[in-house]
Amino acid sequence: MSGALLAAGLGGAAGLGLSLRFNWWRKKRSGTPILMYHQIGAPRPGSALNKWRVTEEDFCRQLDLLLGRGYRVVALDELLEAPSAGTRRAVLTFDDGYRGVFDRALPALLRRGLKATVFVVADRLGGVNDWDDETPGDALLSADEVRALHASGIEIGSHGATHRALTSLSDGELSREVAGSRDALERLVGAPVTSFSYPFGDFDDRVVEAVRRAGYRAATVIRGGIPEDLSDPFRLKRIAVRGTNTRLDFTLALTRGRSRL
């Protein structure tokens, strides 16, 4: 085989591999992308949770990419208040309530005038993410930091009282996790808490009804995708942002709901 043919063959194989890996051939989705972050910070050696750690530098690059593409970056409550606004929007959410959100994400958001929703675990403020069985755990927001986030214009949502899987709980335990966490957070920030995120993405119809009865207006899931509208506000799909995402991953996911197979 000639060098030119070999190069063409290798180039074609590489192109096929890239097409198979990335979903640029998927149909673009309508609706507002809801991005799901966890920790903002450097990876830890050997940690199985590094896929959920986005470096501060990558986070800033992603914010700038959103702005460069004409997105208005908002919290979930703004989407609920004006679901049909004519502007192009993206919703930023953070699960678990890590201190890195206060130390690293908040300054980046404030410099750009952007909003976000932070889902915190009401009874674990000032603690660590002990539900992940990693030692040492990552520090969580303190009560003062949650109040400071709220004062900065960040929406505070609930991620349960103790980050338990909800579908296996008794009715009383479920109420404490859902309604109890809302009451505690509302007392903390002195404002309504209307958004919920299911811990571990674990929910069923019974859990959804408990969240609705508790007075929330919406709840997010882990399941990937872009909600076309708010007709099912208690099962809002999100786009997981991982520390392993490339720029192409992130860009494609904004319009397709995910970037890889």
Model pLDDT for residues 15-32, shown as the tens digit of each residue: 434 444 545 556 666 789
Q: HSE, CB side, 13 Å, CA atoms: give it for residue 36.
A: 26
Query: Is the CA virtual torsion 153, 154, 156, 157 positive or negative?
Result: positive
What pLDDT, on a 0 to 100 scale, did the predictor assign at position 228?
87
The mean pLDDT of the chain is 89
Of 18-22, 124-128, 195-199, 220-224, the poorest mean pLDDT is in 18-22
| pLDDT tens, position by position, 85-125 | 778 999 999 999 999 999 999 999 999 999 999 999 999 99
Closest CA to 42 of 57, 27, 24, 63: 57
Q: How far apart are CA 88 and CA 108, in angstroms?
A: 20
Domain ranges (residues) in the chain: 29-256
CB distance 139 to 98 below 8 Å: yes
- pLDDT at res. 11: 43
78 band by pLDDT with thresholds 50, 70 and 90: very high
Predicted confidence at residue 30, as pLDDT, reads 75
Checking if the pLDDT of 236 tops 70, the result is yes
Segment 4-25 shows an average pLDDT of 44
The pTM of the full predicted model, rounded to 2 decimals, is 0.89
Least confident of 10-14, 21-25, 161-165, 252-256: 10-14
* pLDDT for 87: 81
For the domain 29-256, what is the CATH code? 3.20.20.370
As a whole number, mean pLDDT of residues 32-46 equals: 95
Computed from CA positions of residues 188, 189, 192, 193, in that sequence, does the dihedral angle turn out positive or negative?
A: negative
Judged against a pLDDT cut of 80, whether residue 137 lies above it is answered with yes
Tokens 């999100």 belong to 238
DSSP state for residue 154 in the 8-state scheme:
P
